[in-house]
Amino acid sequence: MLYLAEVQKPKTGFLGGGGKAELKLLACQRTEQSWTVERTEEVVPAEEANAFNDGALVIVNLVNRLVKGEIEPAGDRVSTILQNFSRLLEKSKNQEEEIEQWKQSLTFQSQEMNRREIELEQRLDQMQAKEEELALIEQQRQELESASEETTRLQEEFERKSRELEGAWEHLKGEQRRLEEIKAEGQYSAGIDAEQAGVIQQLLDRLSETVAPTASVREQLHLGLEVVNSQQSVLDEQWQQFEQQQAEATRLQTDVERQGEEVTNRSQQLQQTQVSLEQAKIELKVQQHVLELKRESLAMLSLQLQTQQSLQQELTLLATNSTDVGISQKVDIESLEKMPLGELIEVVDNLQQDLAKVVDFVNAQEEELTLQRQNLEQLQSKLDSASEYDRISLETELADERDCYKMLDETLVGQRRNLREREGILSQHRRLLQRRQGVGEGNNADSQTIDLEPILMQLEVQIQQRQEELQKLEGEVEQISQSINSLEELVAQKTSEQEAKLTELGNLQQEWNSAKESAAQILGKVNLYQETLQLRQDSITEIRQKLEAIADGLNQIQEIGDYQLQLLAQMQQTIGSLLQSPELAAS
């Protein structure tokens, strides 16, 4: 099982050496991505950890508290774990934001559902009230139908009695005609007998009884008309409510159309934002590719610069350490040609004396460097055969000696270069002196020295050009990097705007769908309400028309009845006058 441990080296023995390293267990790996902290602060001996410094973090595989396999530095593993943990935190944060957005969306949907539920309950209450009103109207309609049936029955009774009255009237007319015929024949000189008067009186009484009583029917008719008018008033209020609901439905439909246009506009804006985002992403990829190419060019140019600088150093070192090559020094040949020969000889002697001093100093330094190297070899030999007890002190001493050797060697590089320069200057003065003295150069070694000065100058020019190109390229890389950062910010901003607009469009789409559904429901209810009201209106109108027709019939019946009563009164008056005549009284 893998553990994260800390290397601990006990401070025992001389200079802290001689102790065995131990591992303090800090955490244990349970799964590939899961680590648990070790709270026991257990320490495991491990000689394999001696190669690590005290306090170093390592990864070790332990089986039964014994080290199995190699001990690895924990830096890379810990870095990977921290990166994974950072990604997990970022992912968790994003998920929390998504959950919060979903919570807000669910809260909004819950509020919308509660609002719709309340509206539906209100609509149900209204529908129940309307149903109760319809039931009441149906009851009143049935009562009106009953009144209409009673009116019809009375009308039939009236018609029957009217027919009987007409029959009695016809009989009376016949008796009257017969009486007139008798009078015309001279059978009666005046009046009628008592028997005939009694018969006529009976007929008149029967006619009086057959006159239809219209008062009760008219009272029922007035009650029916009052009920119809009351229902019409209630219906008029309901028609007003219907007009308000119809206006509300029209307003909702207008809002739905406006929301539909808004959704369409937002969708078009979202598409435009998407196109702009894709263009920004493409531009970002292009800039990243250009940056990658620039960095590759920068790496190649840096490599060329390093190669040229290394070549320059190698050539300089070669000219310093080799006798066959050298770097020509600029000497004022013209002034030396004009200088008196004795003065030139004196200058050459002075240069030779200075050179001898530098040679002595460099040789002394070289001998010291040789002794230093031998000392390093001896210390290394002692270290190879030393015990654990003496190893730390020898390693420290060896490190100090190496630092001294390195410092001395670096100093000698400059001294050697200075020596070669002085030798070159002396060689040029000596050749000029020999030529002025007429002495041949022969096989002088100075004449066979290879001059590296032109090559080094050309290298210096090339290095300077490469450095300028490198600086220019670095500026371009920096500029492209800034442009990429701006593009990344732009892409992130547009992505955020895109997500926000997408969420907003989704919410608008839901609101639009809800509004369409509500408008459709309300419109359906309004249409149903209109049909119901129209049926009630048609029913009330029909009942009113029937009642008005009955009222017209009653008026006609009343007029006929009044006319009949007038006739009966006249007939009774005539019969009365006949009964009072002397002839009828004598008989």
Q: What is the pLDDT of residues 116-148, one digit of tens each?
A: 778 778 878 877 777 777 777 677 667 667 766
The pLDDT value given to residue 585: 46
Q: Which residue has better confidence, 279 or 571?
A: 279
Distance CA 20, CA 45 (A): 7
Radius of gyration for the alpha carbons in the chain, expressed in angstroms and rounded: 66
pLDDT band at 15 (very low <50, low <70, confident <90, very high): very low
How would DSSP label each residue in 456-524? HHHHHHHHHHHHHHHHHHHHHHHHHHHHHHHHHHHHHHHHHHHHHHHHHHHHHHHHHHHHHHHHHHHHH
Distance CA 248, CA 490 (A): 46
The pLDDT value given to residue 68: 79
DSSP state of 52: S
Inter-helix orientation angle 75-185/453-579, to 10°: 20
Residue 77 in this model has a pLDDT that exceeds 80 = no
- As a whole-number percent, the residues of the chain with pLDDT over 90 amount to 0
E strand spans, 32-175: 34-37, 43-45, 57-63, 66-73
pLDDT band at 444 (very low <50, low <70, confident <90, very high): very low
Distance CA 578, CA 43 (A): 156
The pLDDT value given to residue 586: 46
Average pLDDT value over all residues in the chain: 76
Cα separations in angstroms, 91 against 44, 85, 86, 251, 500? 37, 10, 8, 46, 19
Looking at the DSSP bridge assignments, the partners of residue 7 are 23
Q: What is the pLDDT of residues 385-397, one digit of tens each?
A: 888 777 888 888 8
pLDDT band at 461 (very low <50, low <70, confident <90, very high): confident
Residue 410 in this model has a pLDDT that exceeds 80 = no
How would DSSP label each residue in 223-237? HHHHHHHHHHHHHHH
The pLDDT value given to residue 204: 66
By the 10 Å C-beta count (0-12 exposed, 13-18 middle, 19+ buried), 188 is classed as middle
Average pLDDT on 76-95 reads 73
pTM surpassing 0.75?
no
Of 294, 340, 578, 326, which Cα lies nearest the Cα of 428? Answer: 326
Residue 14 in this model has a pLDDT that exceeds 50 = no
- As a whole-number percent, the residues of the chain with pLDDT over 70 amount to 77
Q: What is the pLDDT of residues 467-503, one digit of tens each?
A: 888 888 888 889 888 988 988 888 888 888 888 888 8
Distance CA 560, CA 568 (A): 12
Residue 13 in this model has a pLDDT that exceeds 50 = no
Distance CA 222, CA 228 (A): 10
Residue 11 in this model has a pLDDT that exceeds 80 = no
526 within 8 A of 245, measured Cβ to Cβ:
yes
For tokens 């089986």, name the residue. 63
Domain definitions of the chain by residue range: 2-73, 102-270+530-586, 328-451
Lowest mean pLDDT among 16-20, 164-168, 509-513: 16-20
The pLDDT value given to residue 383: 83
For tokens 């809002």, name the residue. 255
Distance CA 61, CA 68 (A): 5
Q: Which residue has better confidence, 265 or 314?
A: 265
Sign of CA dihedral 338, 342, 345, 351: negative
The pLDDT value given to residue 491: 87
Of 254, 206, 217, 33, which Cα lies nearest the Cα of 571? Answer: 206
For tokens 């007409």, name the residue. 166
Q: Tell how far CA 77 is from the center of its chain.
A: 36
The pLDDT value given to residue 582: 52
Distance CA 521, CA 517 (A): 6
Q: What is the pLDDT of residues 420-431, one digit of tens each?
A: 778 778 877 888
Distance CA 545, CA 225 (A): 10
pLDDT band at 403 (very low <50, low <70, confident <90, very high): confident
60 within 8 A of 71, measured Cβ to Cβ:
yes
The pLDDT value given to residue 65: 76
Inter-helix orientation angle 75-185/194-209, to 10°: 170
Other CB atoms within 10 A of residue 228 CB? 21
pLDDT band at 533 (very low <50, low <70, confident <90, very high): confident
Q: What is the pLDDT of residues 212-251, one digit of tens each?
A: 556 766 777 777 788 878 888 888 888 888 888 888 888 8
Q: What is the pLDDT of residues 271-303, one digit of tens each?
A: 888 888 888 888 888 888 888 888 888 888 888
